[in-house]
Structure 1
Amino acid sequence: MRLGFPRARWKPKLPPIGQTSQSLPKPSHAFPDALRTSLTAIKESADAFPPLKTAVGAIVTIWDVAERAKHSKSDARGIAVRTQQILDVVVDAVPDPLEIPPSMLQSIERFTLLLEETKYLMEEMVLTGRVSRIVHLNRNERVLRDIRERLDAAYGDFLAASALRVEVTQAEIVLKQRELAAQQLQTYLQVSQILQKTNTTINLTPDLLFYSRLSVFLGRP
């Protein structure tokens, strides 16, 4: 059973993993309504998978915080974009909420904890006043950098997991195709044997009929 999670449709271009400081995208427009609707739909459809539902709720909150930011708005939005992209990868990497490998489940739970921590830190930093921002400028920069690096690491982990799932799925498809080909060959051989027996019977029938009539004519059993 495949999860029917709708994917977030709004996908701004994101930088490669591992770039530092200014690497995350800095969109200038507000949280798109289509993305909010899509995230809400994912959250509502994730009842069978609580960790993902919690993650979606945290991402929506992070977007809201980014939109209400009094400063570092571009950085906050960039972080929100990255969390949304990670969610898309997670949805792709989860084929069935009832059959999640333990390693994947642990990764999703760690991602959820990271989102909760990110939400808390962003609220603390970007919603504070000017004086507090100036006093804690260096600390805030370090925190933002740490958040970006950890999100990049999570993104890379889920990309690898998603790629592995695709490889496993393709291998399973190839195996099933081979099994089907073997079954078709077996069926063909069985049908061929039946046809051979049928043809032999048909060929013998005229001879049997001739000898039967000859026996009757000669008065012999």
Structure 2
Amino acid sequence: MSHTGHPPPPPKPPDGWKNALNEASATSADVTKTFVTALRDSADAFPPLKSLAAGVLAVWQTAERARSSKLRAKALAERSCRLLGIVADAVKDPNDVPPEMNVVLGNFEILLEDIQRTLKPLQKQNLLKSLPRLNRDQDELDDLNRRLDEAYQSFMISSALMTQLQLERIQRKVAKQLIMLGHIDKAQDCTIAQLSGIRNEVSYSAQKATTHSDRKLAEIRRELATKLEVIDRGQTHLKYLFTISVGLF
């Protein structure tokens, strides 16, 4: 990891590129080509990635048929493939791809076409080339390596921008959710206040009804007591009359 926080670019073949390249296993190359082929043939893949995968496979096939500078040609193909892997790993959701990233992907596709076009003459040239021609081939391949470096740097810049846009979108979404939560809290407080008011009204009404009932019961008791008193007086009067009537007979 570099001091900038980004992964280092795909390594460019140094002066001792033959030894480093010979250490790469055929199995690894087969796995890589299988991945690129699957990406190209995938029905769900992002269309620009499918085009890049087709371009990388074309470069790989052209490099394998090179008769001169074969190792350098294969190194270019491997770098192109590894850069595609980095791009495919970062670009997963087409909805998250900004216009700047689409431009970078388009430039990468153009670069793959230039690499393939540069490697094609190497299929026809024999091993007995003139030194100037060999030097010219080497310069062209070095220039393509430099352009791969530039493509990587452009991709990392666009990837950082894409990440920033994603974070900003998430922040806006979170802010919106917080605002909604604030509205919900206010609505909840309002509802609680309303329920509290209703509870107080019900309590007051119940208390009032109880008080009214108590007064009504007291009034009924007084009426009953009055009626009982009248009945008692009536019974007493009847007894008195009965006593008088008995005395008369």
**Normalising by structure 2, what TM-score?**
0.69
Alpha-carbon distance in structure 1 between the residues aligned to 2:99 and 2:204? 71
- 2:60 counterpart of 1:55: no
- 2:31 counterpart of 1:34: yes
Alpha carbons of structure 1 residues 46 and 131: separation in structure 2 relative to 1, 3 Å = farther
Q: SS at 1:118's partner residue?
A: helix
Greater RCO structure (CA 8 Å; 6+ sep): 1
Alpha carbons of structure 1 residues 200 and 168: separation in structure 2 relative to 1, 3 Å = same
Output the amino acid matched with 2:53. V
**Normalising by structure 1, what TM-score?**
0.76
Deviation at residue 50 of structure 1 after TM alignment: 4.5
Instruction: Show CA shifts across 1:132-177 (max 9, x none).
Output: 3646111111111111111111111011111111111112112212
Alpha carbons of structure 1 residues 132 and 86: separation in structure 2 relative to 1, 3 Å = same
- 2:124 counterpart of 1:119: no
Which residue of structure 2 lines up, in the alignment, with residue 190 of structure 1?
187
Alpha carbons of structure 1 residues 17 and 135: separation in structure 2 relative to 1, 3 Å = same
Instruction: Show CA shifts across 1:75-110 (max 9, x none).
Output: 222211221122134334545446754433333222
Instruction: Show CA shifts across 1:10-69 (max 9, x none).
Output: xxxx96579786497943233622211111111122677554323211211222333344
- 2:198 counterpart of 1:204: no
Alpha carbons of structure 1 residues 37 and 16: separation in structure 2 relative to 1, 3 Å = closer
Alpha carbons of structure 1 residues 97 and 185: separation in structure 2 relative to 1, 3 Å = closer
Alpha-carbon distance in structure 1 between the residues aligned to 2:188 and 2:95? 41
Structure 1 alignment gaps of length 5 or more = 1-13
Structure 2 alignment gaps of length 5 or more = 1-6, 217-249
Alpha-carbon distance in structure 2 between the residues aligned to 1:69 and 1:16? 25
CA RMSD of aligned residues (A): 3.2
Identical positions, percent: 28
Q: Which has the larger radius of gyration?
A: 2
